Structure 1
Amino acid sequence: MFLYKVKNLSLNEVADRLSLKDKRTVNRWLKENNIPFYKIGNRLHVDEFQFEFKRQQLVVEKLMKLYPNQWFEIYDVTTTDKLMVQAIFKLFQPRPKANSVITNKKRKFIK
């Protein structure tokens, strides 16, 4: 049986990773991105995996817009956490490559 090892981040650590100074902005970002936070002792924490997974989703969505045919290869090469790459692969299945050749076939209609 595999147990998921939970690692927590304090809101100060989240603020550092997001390069934010205001805790209200951190709270708003977490709420907007549906990341639950909870109290341990007298401090608020979030699950590190959920936080990082959401950040990676946002990166992948940008890559998909910029490089629709190569986004997964670019993401895979630039990401050191291969377990995160597998999780992103499950969420965003790479689409078949778009055809770059346009054909000019006319449709024939029966009269």
Structure 2
Amino acid sequence: MILAVLTLSTFTAGAGFAADAKAGEAVYNRACKSCHGADGTPNPAIAKMMKVEMRDLKSPAVQALSDADIKTIVTAGKGKMHAIASVTGPAVDNVIAYVRTLK
């Protein structure tokens, strides 16, 4: 009985931490879309201005990245992409969940 209660309480606590792709879409639209496009296709004007080749977020290469790798890119930046200071905490996981829907 105690094991069942612990298992149920652990499951219930974990369920509250599931990433929300719909919430992630709202954050993405506010903080990411101007550079990465509405559907994950890079904005060519931004890429040209920054003199970078941006990957399509739908691409197999991006989709193959681990959630931890994407989280690091969002929170710490990579190359010329700066950390996105406005995307923190659960919002990062939500954005990752949304990016996964783009494939």
What TM-score, normalized by structure 1, do the two folds share?
Answer: 0.22
**Which protein is richer in helix relative to its size?**
2
Structure with the higher strand share, 1 or 2: 1
Higher relative contact order (CA 8 A, sep 6+): 2
